[in-house]
Copies of this chain bind each other. A is one copy, B any other.
Amino acid sequence: MIDKFVRSMAEAMAGIRDGATVLIAGFGDVGMPNALLDGLIEQGAGNLTVVVNSAGRVHKPGAATQGIARLIELGRVRKVITSFVRAQSIAGDWVRDGRMEAEVVPQGTLAERIRAAGAGVPAFFTPTGAGTLVAEGKEVRSYNGRPCILEEALPGDVALVEAWMADRWGNLVFRDASRNFNPIMAMAGALTVVQTHHVCDVGQLPANEIVTPGIFVDRVLHVAAGDPKLTR
């Protein structure tokens, strides 16, 4: 019997190594695998390359940090690949001090590079970023009269994903805007670990409504995480 459910956070995090590239889904607090992120902090892997839409919000001095910012603050992130680094964030501080590297890329290029990794496309051309700082050092070629730059796939050793419902095959559905990066990161992770709000039987999710088929999923942990918080 296929059963991708794990019974503990330790099992969910087993084998994540120093130096790993970790894809972390979510947009704002919606669809963000917060429990798995806490699990990763607890687990201890360091020297990570983290791929995430935003490297964290504005940090008020003295306020508690969590999530990506906490991982950075603990010195566990070597490099972040993201579409937002805010100057007044923990990530901004670490980049300014030269303690962490940041590759800031257009959000659509980020999404497409992740999807490409999952789909076996090693590289593709895109007009996004041509003629900007993003194009520095990249090959340029013209298509349909527009300059395009060559971008490479962005695979993860690990993907951390949040689902609304999951079954033991690892089939997933997402609630509303929590879908965001989750399905494509699930595709692009060599090891895809999911936290799910709800568990259902195999066959309960209609075949036409499954968003992420279990083929992209390795481990599922049941975490009743509650509603996303309102974050800016």
Contacts and interface: CB of A to CB of B under 8 A. Distances in A.
Interface string A122-153: 11111100000000000001011000100010
A175 interface: yes
A176 interface: yes
B209 A176 contact: no
Given A124-B121, A125-B121, A208 B144 contact: no
Contact of A112 (B121, B127, B173): B121
A135 to B, nearest CB: 15
Count of this chain's copies in the oligomeric assembly: 2
A61 interface: no
Contact of A116 (B123, B124, B173, B176): B124
Q: Which among A148, A174, A208 has the greatest number of chain B C-beta atoms within 10 A?
A: A208
A141 B150 CA distance: 13
A112 to B, nearest CB: 7
A103 to B, nearest CB: 19
A121 B119 CA distance: 14
Give the 9 A-B CB pairs with smallest separation, nearest first.
A122-B143, A124-B124, A123-B125, A121-B124, A122-B125, A209-B209, A122-B148, A121-B126, A123-B143
Interface of A: 112, 116, 119-127, 141, 143-144, 148, 152, 173-176, 207-209
